[in-house]
Structure 1
Amino acid sequence: MRIATLVASTIGLTLLAAAPPARAQTADLAPAPEAATGVADAREAVRAERRMVVAANPIAAESGLAILRAGGSAVDAMVTTQLVLNIVEPQSSGIGGGAFLLHWDAARSDLTTLDGRETAPAAATPERFLGPDGAPRPFMEAVVGGLSVGVPGTPALLAEAHARHGRLPWESLFTIPIRLAEDGFPVSERLRALLDGDPALRDDPRARALYYGEDGSPLPVGTMLRNPALAETLRAMAREGVSAFYSGAVAQDIVDTVTGHPTNPGDITLEDLAAYRVVAREPVCVPYRVYEVCGMGPPSSGAIAVGQILGLVEGFDLAAMGPGPDAAHVVSEASRLAFADRNHYVADSDFVSVPVRGLLDAGYLAERAGLIADDASLGQAQPGEPPFRREGRLAPSSDRSTGTSHVSIVDGDGNAVSLTTTIESAFGARLMTAGGFLLNNELTDFSFRPEADGRPVANGVEAGKRPRSSMAPTIVLDAFGRLYVVAGSPGGSRIIGYVAKTLIGILDWGLDPQAAAALPAFLSRNGPTELEEGTAAADWAEALEARGHEVRLVETTSGIHAIVVTPGGLVGGADPRREGLAVGD
């Protein structure tokens, strides 16, 4: 059964069974050159005239498109898409997690960013993840259980975005998700593989009952997976608003689940949940070529690091280089410099002073770009000394997030949403509430060490603080200030490299978003230069090693979802490494 038909049967709308979108045939965007082959992908870019949704699961994408067809705004479609992702892609995001959102208002030419990142509970201290010996606990030991759970922000973000930019009634956005949770969806190959490979999820009784058979094996591909408990939670949120999540029975369920873990309990309280607030922050925008590239500021490091990479490479003729070892060298060196600054300066700006202006200062970036040599690698870069900074705490930590998803949407009026959403690790803290949703392990994005070099760590745990993120939802404006690109990706700290690579593919190499998403990954997080194994990038290793790079071939888990606005309409691409889909009309 086609996904559109499945969604149509679920919600009773025959209009979803329309013909699939046409393939892109735009003259100003091109497929990837043969020499830059990424993962094997027979798909071509998808073209639409007026509206488009790109999401990590076909059912979610089609559900979002149904909302657009019903007259909904980009934000309306985002709400439904996110709720459906909670059902069909539970390993990556959901109401038990957090998110960052960029919104482009076409009528006002206005960009807003909303921070729905999880927060540490009031009882949290900098020593949260230290063992009895004073050393950091092993990562997975800290992840599994209640101690890693931050106060969820996604439900509040959905409500705030809808209050600002919604068009359809709030409750109507829950119709598809509720029916889907009740009636079920077929388990995909990707979901089954992740369920099978996870070592801890089976230990949670509720998750085991939902996702596994009596013998502990994951549900077979094609099994209709129903989640009536989540349907009831969504029904309460549709009826009562977001307060049904942050107070009452659902909130008490979250508290009981977190504090009741048998071996690693946490300390979230009803007061923590009631106190959660979404924060509207200033967008972080940087010029690149003739474009303006905008994203989410701290506590996300994504827009700063992507902006630094682009600013550092702007003096190089990447267009002439094309995809290959020369471009990989320049971009990887720029990434080293960006990550050195990121790790030193960036954390939650409500708690520490982050020199955003200085880190993106044109003069500072030009000076740093002078460190990029044509024939030698920096190896490991040191942080710079940007202007407008204040001496303070260091910000080192590790980012291991894999439970993340991205949604790109443009509606019929030209409004756009770029949403990156997460529960941190795959399946989060491996804790399922009685309400049928998994809880995040976002607090392990904080530094486990409260001090470094005798100084407090900027990204250390503190009550009410939001952990640093690498999520980089991105909106690009053209030379006339018009919407041009809507993009983003999951992938932990590698998100920064995935987004930078894709933007370079579109803005410098003229690729369509499908080809740019499929480009092989190449990046450095101020360590080894990572090249995507099994792609053309692996063949660049010898040339990079000759320049002093320590090369590591890696499997990547990007999930780039991008939309490009052209004179002929919208062109969309979904990363072939996952099961995402671009749909529109």
Structure 2
Amino acid sequence: MAHAQLKTSPLIALLALTGLGFTLPSLAYDANPEAASGFTHGKTAVAAKKFMAATANPLATNAAYDMLAKGGSAVDAAVAAQMVLGLTEPQSSGIGGGAFLLTFDGKKVVNYDGRETSPKAATEKLFQTDAGADMAFYDAVVGGRSVGVPGAVAMLELAHKREGKLPWATLFQPAIKLATDGFAISPRLNTLLASEKYLNKDDAAKAYFYQEDGITPKATGRILKNPEYAAVLKTIASKGAKGLLTGEIAQAIVDKVNHHPTNPGKLSMADMAAYTPKIRSATCGHYRDYTVCGPAAPSSGGVAVLQMLGALERFNLSAIKPDSAQAVHYFAEAGRLAFADRGKYLADPDFVKVPTAGLIDPKYIAQRSALISDDKSLGTAPAGEPHGAKIAQIDLGSPELPSTSHISIVDAKGHAVSMTTSIEDQFGARQFVKGFLLNNQLTDFSFSDKDKNGLIANRVEAGKRPRSSMSPVLVFDQSGKNLKMVVGSPGGSRIIGYVAQTLLNLIDWKMDPQAAVNAPHYGSRNGPKTEVEKGTALAALIPELKAKGEEAVEGEMTSGLSAIVKTKKGYLGGADARREGTVKGD
């Protein structure tokens, strides 16, 4: 099926939510983390023999490629790419945000957790009004209240100490040069600035991103220089993560957060200095003849992707078409089941007992899969009761609208990186400090702290990491020893479906990586809705889906997938045509 062109459209405003808070997940259901910016036709899979990098921006891909060409490791290349993304794709990720990173060093998978943490002064009432109601989403986001301690740089520093080859300072040179000499504003950055309603309320951001009228975005192709960001990178290059989390730069972040005129936060210098990235056990399971590894909690991505794949394994998917109503139905039902469990059980494991082993146990998943019928939708699926689960801690739904990016890399030794990196919503908290944007990750917590069933697992607590849907994935053969695929995507809570669908495209429907990431999206995040991607031929399936009892709707589904697949001759890679990503290798 040919992919119809996706129409360029601004981010759909959450006007209907204003004043209502997020008591029910369905209220935030159709919101997108970033505006769509069109579909680039004609992209084909890229082949390479020795190494390969795929990122969401050509300049970041070039930086990663340069490190690999110098003999650097996959981690080296990821650091270089991230620093460039923070400059050229500032709406999505950067040093003011966090990330989840999976690496493969030729022997084992390592799961690095660089998720932001809440301040020690934060309480479960952080996103509630004086009257005890949940705050409206953008009332919470814009300003200092939503900013968590950024973790991406400290996480990358830890990974580099363990798996890097090139000097740390070397990895910052491409971004420093681009920030000093300038880079051309991309069409996507210009499009998102045009759709943005809050960024120009910050004077520093207004001066950097907008023309003299403070309203019109600087034009596509205009050369944008960022000497402040270059200076910050030089400090981090010489001092490491401490250069960001202590001293002058940290003080500037804390001051910006706490002195916001209408929505101040509670961040301290002690919070910044105390940040520690974590190494957790990756969440791994089997699908057909493959071993699939994803991130552990507080990301829900590893568990949810494995649950979806496991629920679908009993169906002979290769015998049906990937763009058929039956394929959409099965996939949506698997999503309903996974998101029901995600909402009930997934949160920061340092604060909540997460029954990961029970949730991905094949026997449990088989029981859940048995709820999927051929011709009738579950509508809103119930959560299950896996082994090890305590009394339910219901999560009533955090909006989680991450403005996110993904990096996939394989180096010359066959070592790999899959990293999803985020500042949360488009342009984060809309706070611009020393040339970079601050995250609004704390709004990934549930705004409510309890309901009639008791405390909510993903409620705000001091020093806690909010739940995420980021799903960087590494795929191996059944032995778990031989790397086969590197996959991941941005896209808010839809990330889980984007990644699971891409794995089905690669494994069951034998698509090449470019076709797999370009394929029209569909799925469900529980509740009655089944989403099919707007502007594609999938709209023709809506009557058939409705006949199965599904509330089928069209919507923007702006993924930013990348996939690298190991072949007999080397590697084959694809970057999502919905964004500006590229693949490059030797």
Output one character per residue of 1:34-85: Cα deviation in whole Å (capped at 9) or x when no partner.
Answer: 5999966211101011111100001100111011001110000000000000
8 A contact 1:352–1:393 mirrored in 2: no
Letter in 2 for 1:570: Y
8 A contact 2:5–2:535 mirrored in 1: no
1:104 paired residue number: 104
Instruction: Determine the C-alpha separation between the residues in 2 that align with 1:351 and 1:408.
Output: 31
1:145 to 124, 143, 150: 143
Letter in 2 for 1:363: K
Letter in 2 for 1:383: A
8 A contact 2:513–2:572 mirrored in 1: yes
Letter in 1 for 2:148: G
**Matched ranges for 1:508-523 at <5 A:** 508-523=508-523
Instruction: Determine the C-alpha separation between the residues in 2 that align with 1:423 and 1:583.
Output: 25
8 A contact 1:399–1:469 mirrored in 2: no
2:583 paired residue number: 582
Residue 394 of structure 1: how far off its partner (Å): 2.4
**Matched ranges for 1:366-385 at <5 A:** 366-385=366-385
8 A contact 1:428–1:439 mirrored in 2: yes
Residue 345 of structure 1: how far off its partner (Å): 0.8
8 A contact 1:397–1:445 mirrored in 2: no
CA spacing shift, 1:413–1:582, aligned 2, 3 Å: same
1:459 paired residue number: 458
DSSP-derived class of the 2:111 partner: strand
Instruction: Determine the C-alpha separation between the residues in 1 that align with 2:260 and 2:564.
Output: 42
1:288 paired residue number: 287
8 A contact 2:514–2:575 mirrored in 1: yes
Instruction: Determine the C-alpha separation between the residues in 2 that align with 1:281 and 1:467.
Output: 16
1:524 paired residue number: 524
1:300 paired residue number: 299
DSSP-derived class of the 1:430 partner: coil
Does residue 163 (structure 1) correspond to residue 164 (structure 2)? The answer is no
- Where structure 1 has 5 or more consecutive residues not aligned to the other structure, the ranges are 1-32
8 A contact 1:54–1:409 mirrored in 2: yes
Normalised to the residue count of structure 1, the TM-score between the two structures is: 0.93
8 A contact 1:36–1:519 mirrored in 2: no
1:22 paired residue number: none
Letter in 2 for 1:555: E
CA spacing shift, 1:135–1:93, aligned 2, 3 Å: same
DSSP-derived class of the 2:145 partner: helix
Output one character per residue of 1:146-193: Cα deviation in whole Å (capped at 9) or x when no partner.
Answer: 000000001101100100100000011111111111111000111011
1:81 paired residue number: 81
Instruction: Determine the C-alpha separation between the residues in 1 that align with 2:2 and 2:175.
Output: 41
8 A contact 2:141–2:440 mirrored in 1: yes
Pairwise CA RMSD of aligned residues?
A: 1.3
Instruction: Determine the C-alpha separation between the residues in 2 that align with 1:341 and 1:174.
Output: 41
Letter in 2 for 1:194: L
8 A contact 1:113–1:283 mirrored in 2: yes
Normalised to the residue count of structure 2, the TM-score between the two structures is: 0.92
2:184 paired residue number: 186
**Matched ranges for 1:190-201 at <5 A:** 190-201=188-199
Instruction: Determine the C-alpha separation between the residues in 2 that align with 1:454 and 1:98.
Output: 32
Residue 537 of structure 1: how far off its partner (Å): 1.7
Output one character per residue of 1:59-112: Cα deviation in whole Å (capped at 9) or x when no partner.
Answer: 100111011001110000000000000000000000000000000011xx2100
Output one character per residue of 1:433-464: Cα deviation in whole Å (capped at 9) or x when no partner.
Answer: 1x211000000000000102241111000001
Output one character per residue of 1:350-405: Cα deviation in whole Å (capped at 9) or x when no partner.
Answer: 10011101111111111111110111101110101111222252233223324100
Instruction: Determine the C-alpha separation between the residues in 2 that align with 1:522 and 1:190.
Output: 23
Instruction: Determine the C-alpha separation between the residues in 1 that align with 2:530 and 2:302.
Output: 21
1:94 paired residue number: 94
Instruction: Determine the C-alpha separation between the residues in 2 that align with 1:351 and 1:122.
Output: 14
Letter in 1 for 2:246: S
Instruction: Determine the C-alpha separation between the residues in 1 that align with 2:69 and 2:487.
Output: 22
Instruction: Determine the C-alpha separation between the residues in 2 that align with 1:398 and 1:62.
Output: 36
Instruction: Determine the C-alpha separation between the residues in 1 that align with 2:417 and 2:452.
Output: 41
8 A contact 1:45–1:513 mirrored in 2: yes
Segment of structure 1 superposing worse, 503-512 or 473-482 = 473-482
1:496 paired residue number: 496
Residue 539 of structure 1: how far off its partner (Å): 1.7
Instruction: Determine the C-alpha separation between the residues in 2 that align with 1:208 and 1:451.
Output: 39
Letter in 1 for 2:79: V
1:15 paired residue number: none
Instruction: Determine the C-alpha separation between the residues in 1 that align with 2:60 and 2:172.
Output: 13
Output one character per residue of 1:219-245: Cα deviation in whole Å (capped at 9) or x when no partner.
Answer: 011100111000000011111222111
1:12 paired residue number: none
8 A contact 1:37–1:519 mirrored in 2: no
DSSP-derived class of the 1:417 partner: strand
Does residue 250 (structure 1) correspond to residue 249 (structure 2)? The answer is yes
Letter in 2 for 1:446: F
Residue 197 of structure 1: how far off its partner (Å): 1.0
1:262 paired residue number: 261
DSSP-derived class of the 1:103 partner: strand
1:441 paired residue number: 440
CA spacing shift, 1:35–1:41, aligned 2, 3 Å: closer
DSSP-derived class of the 2:417 partner: strand
Segment of structure 1 superposing worse, 569-578 or 472-481 = 472-481
2:19 paired residue number: none
1:398 paired residue number: 398
Instruction: Determine the C-alpha separation between the residues in 2 that align with 1:301 and 1:382.
Output: 17
Instruction: Determine the C-alpha separation between the residues in 2 that align with 1:244 and 1:40.
Output: 39
8 A contact 1:353–1:392 mirrored in 2: no
